[in-house]
Amino acid sequence: METIKSSKIIDRAKNEVTGFSSMYEKLEQKVVLGGLSNSTLLNYGRCIAKISLHFKCVATHLEEEQINGYLQHLLMGDKPSKSYFKHTVYGLRFLFRIHDLEDRIIKLPSLKNETKLPVVLSPSECKLIFKSGRILKHRVLLSFIYSAGLRLLEVRNLKIRDVDFDRMMIHIRQTKYKKDRYVPLSPSIAKGVKKYMEAYNPKVYLFNGKSVGSQLSAKGVQWPMREAVKTAKIKKQASIHTLRHSYATHLLELGMDVDTLRKLLGHANLSTTLVYLHVARLNNSNQFSPFDKLYQRD
């Protein structure tokens, strides 16, 4: 749905704003050549289209005061959105860079990196979610995502050929950083996957969509998770990506070293993986609450 909305806004800008089409073509070319994802193109394109439509002028021709006023409205308007504000700033930075407008980039507001720790489910909460799936397909889907630490797009793109039952490995192709990786296939999950395949007979993608040979939609992955969280009566803000966070944290707690975990997660930088050290309860940790010592006898 978001993809369709973004495409409509971009098409509208092409029709209503002089020069937007050629500007967008250059943006699209640089995104593709830079190896960035289609979702990045749509996010940047939508934000640039909206500001161009607002002023009836391509974003590269806008004055500093116009841009700052628009960005202020995004943060302080009737429906403020920090997320949309960030995407707009990132989109404008990218646009100005490819048009050699470095002086414009400097004048854009700087964005502070928020250091939010990931939401993590306990092992018992994970079990509750996996058994709360309404049908076999949903139970296997959610268990499979957790068992391999997959991103949403990775599980959607996974094909039957990518699951090697002989070597007990899963081949994850062209991930977020355009790299392939292998992760172990859990023997317990392998049994569930075989049972699911016998029942649903997928043709191309492991988790098929509504039509034969199609992949499961993003909503088709997210909806079972939301329903399972409700059924399990879990109060945490848990999403599909929470299963990946939980996978990483649980592996650390079970003794896996950080560099091995980085490779399994497909992280480009170790610093991305290190965040899980802040949420994992490690056996050698000497952290405790002083309250526990207050009433101990001497």
Retrieve residue 208's tokens. Answer: 């098929």
List 104, 244, 245, 262, catalytic entry: 244
CA distance 150 to 143: 11
User: What are φ and ψ of residue 181, in 5° steps?
Assistant: -155, 160
Q: Is 253 in contact with 282 (CB distance < 8 Å)?
A: yes
H or E element, residue 256? none
Catalytic-residue membership of 241: yes
List 50, 137, 151, 250, catalytic entry: 151
Tell me how far CA of residue 231 lies from CA of 70, 122, 164, 194, 227, in angstroms.
42, 16, 33, 26, 6
Catalytic-residue membership of 176: yes
> Torsion over CA of 93, 96, 101 and 102, rounded to 10 degrees?
20
Catalytic-residue membership of 276: yes
List 137, 138, 139, 267, catalytic entry: 267
Nearest to 197 by CA among 170, 243, 163, 221: 163
Q: Is 141 in contact with 158 (CB distance < 8 Å)?
A: no
CA distance 266 to 181: 7
Rg of the Cα trace of the chain? 23
List 24, 70, 196, 276, catalytic entry: 276
Catalytic-residue membership of 167: no
Alpha carbons within 13 A on the beta-carbon side of 96:
20
List 54, 86, 181, 241, catalytic entry: 241
List 5, 26, 82, 176, catalytic entry: 176
Active site positions, annotated: 151, 176, 241, 244, 267, 276
